[in-house]
Amino acid sequence: MARTDDKLNVLILAAGLGTRLRPLTNEIPKPLVRVYDKSILEIQMERAKSLGDVRLHANAHYLAEQIVREGERLGFEKVWVEQPEILGTAGPLRRIYAAGYRGGLLIMNGDAYCNFDLKKFVANARSAYEAGKADGSNRGEVALLAVDFPKVNTFRVGADGCLLGVAGRFGSKEGRAATFSGISWYSDEALARIRDGEFDIREFWKQEIEAGRAPFVDMSQMHATWIDMGSPEGLMAAVDARKQELGREKNEAVVEPGVNVPASARVVHSVLYKGAVISENEVVQDEIRGENFFWQIPPNH
């Protein structure tokens, strides 16, 4: 049965394996790792709610039962469990559309700490969509939010603001370079064209370009905060960014409940997760520590 009210659907991708953060993620999925005060899943949920009355979805695979429980606590419409295999990015989009959800779909990433103006992005996406309808081009039925990250600037964007190609994958080598932020918007018309069994969303973008319906690339927030928190260095950077957002001191220690820090120990610019052991008189600085592991993070990560 189609859900045809005015609510925007939001999908937070949370099915990744978190391999770069093991052993921290051995028993907790990456989207539930705390970033200072909250998990990235909860932070992304709060960002999504800045748009107003939205329908929240997440997908889950690795340690899925934890994501399901957290989704229930946070009031998600549904957590879509992907078993026995992950469905990529295209698969979850197709699944939500096939279940009857309508009203467009905003995609967010469960392993990136970012602080984009989502209202601005959705407004720009819908404007591009309406412009494509008005001129008959049907461009803009998909919108992709870009950032400037030179190490991963694989997008190639044309003068008309539409995607020309992805370096190393398909399309033109010309155009302005940018990085995909992981945030995107899909119209119902675009979602209807994602085929059953399609996994790689980049292949869908390629098909759209070839059909004359190139995705719109929003480059209005190229220098906003965007951090891949999938590595220890990225996790520390995300914690620092969260501290800054909340007006906290950068050198403040982040200590999960249950971790015992002796009065004689000193903890500076470090994150102590469940199971971390701190000795008497120990100095812990620029470090992430948990049960049976620690990562020394260079100060200028």
Regions in the chain scoring below 70 on pLDDT: 1-6, 301
Domain at 8-218: CATH architecture: Alpha-Beta Complex (3.90)
Provide CB contacts within 8 A for 263, sequence distance 6+. Answer: none
pLDDT at 299: 80
Provide CB contacts within 8 A for 11, sequence distance 6+. Answer: 57, 58, 59, 92, 93, 96, 105, 106, 107, 108
In the structure encoding, which two tokens stand for residue 247, read together?
Answer: 């007006």
Show me where the domains of the chain are located. 8-218, 251-301
pTM assigned to the model: 0.94
Span 259-287, pLDDT tens digits:
999 999 999 999 999 999 999 999 999 99
Question: What whole-number distance in Å separates Cα of residue 11 and Cα of residue 8?
Answer: 10
- pLDDT mean across residues, the chain: 93
Span 72-109, pLDDT tens digits:
999 999 999 988 778 778 999 999 999 999 999 999 99
